[in-house]
Structure 1
Amino acid sequence: MLGMNTDTAQHADIKAIEDVVATVQRTQRAKDAEGFLELFHPEALWTTAHGKVLIGLDAIAAFTRAVLPAANWDGEVTYEVVHVQFLRPDVAAVKVRQVYHSETEGSEGAPLYVMTKQDDGRWLLHANQNTEVHAEAA
């Protein structure tokens, strides 16, 4: 991975961040709204790939519960951490590659997750922007 020091504590944080992204993948594939929502800070912000702005966990939850269970993608979705930039020891900007694999075609997203480390050591999604990647930009 790019842009990371070899510090042991930082490696543990990177692993914990990767685990959150793996849980995003698992919950998205399973269309598990409640599991997905557990990953968010209560004061989180989320902007969807199509520009819908959701402020606070209640708004994110309402949207997720309405949309995720009814999501209509064939194939599977994968999420890969491609870059972690620590802004502070307890704040990280995480660039993710999101790919929807299907029989007919694949589409891609380029989420940016700003994650915060909580007092109990958990990393949560705090300020997030999903961006659809258009073929000409790939």
Structure 2
Amino acid sequence: MSSQHSAHDADIAAIHQVVAEVEKAQRAKDPDAFLALFHPDALWTTAHGKVLIGLDAISAFTRQVLPAASWDGSVSYEAVHIQFLRPDVAAVKVRQLYRGSDGSVESEGAPLYVMTKQDGRWLLTACQNTEVRRDAS
């Protein structure tokens, strides 16, 4: 295996780990763990279209809504597609599921995370969360 191929595999694994950390922070409703995953100059658009520019704005919003979130901890995140735009920039399509106490899917999201590699660490840099509407065709 070439070193270039193994570096690519390591980047893919690291990106999957960031998505897993997003899930862990969301399940725990832990703003600090969630915010630690962002680039300082990040952009975030919520599922309902609120645009947050910079870590301070993302932090203020997250600290207000995440601890009071209404799900019971049964949220999952899965990176379903990773496309490298450059070796240090990746577009990551995520599947986000919120399940009820009976295990049924109550709602779904389809976030897109543009991640950048900074000092060897992958960070959320420009993200758009999108609610999947069940009645959408």
TM-score by length of 2: 0.92
Distance across 2 between alignment mates of 1:131 and 1:110: 5
Distance across 2 between alignment mates of 1:30 and 1:47: 21
Give, as a single letter, the amino acid of the residue that structure 1 aligns with 2:128.
Q
Deviations 1:99-132 (A, max 9, x none): 001137520000000000012x100000000000
Q: Secondary structure at the match of 2:18?
A: helix
Aligned positions, number: 132
TM-score by length of 1: 0.91
For residue 7 of structure 1, report the CA deviation from its aligned partner.
2.0
Report the RMSD for the aligned CA atoms in angstroms: 1.5
Distance across 2 between alignment mates of 1:136 and 1:8: 42
User: Does structure 1 residue 135 correspond to structure 2 residue 134?
Assistant: yes
User: Does structure 1 residue 111 correspond to structure 2 residue 105?
Assistant: no
For residue 8 of structure 1, report the CA deviation from its aligned partner.
1.5
1:58 aligns with 56
Distance across 2 between alignment mates of 1:130 and 1:45: 11
- Note if contact 2:27-2:73 (Cα within 8 Å) is conserved in structure 1: no
Q: What percent of counterpart residues are identical?
A: 72
**Which 4+ stretches in 1 moved above 2 angstroms?**
none
1:25-104 alignment runs, 5 A limit: 25-103=23-101
- Note if contact 1:75-1:102 (Cα within 8 Å) is conserved in structure 2: no
Deviations 1:41-69 (A, max 9, x none): 00000000000000000000000000000
Distance across 1 between alignment mates of 2:50 and 2:73: 25
- Note if contact 2:28-2:73 (Cα within 8 Å) is conserved in structure 1: no
For residue 73 of structure 1, report the CA deviation from its aligned partner.
1.3
- Note if contact 1:75-1:103 (Cα within 8 Å) is conserved in structure 2: no
Deviations 1:19-57 (A, max 9, x none): 000000000000000000000000000000000000000
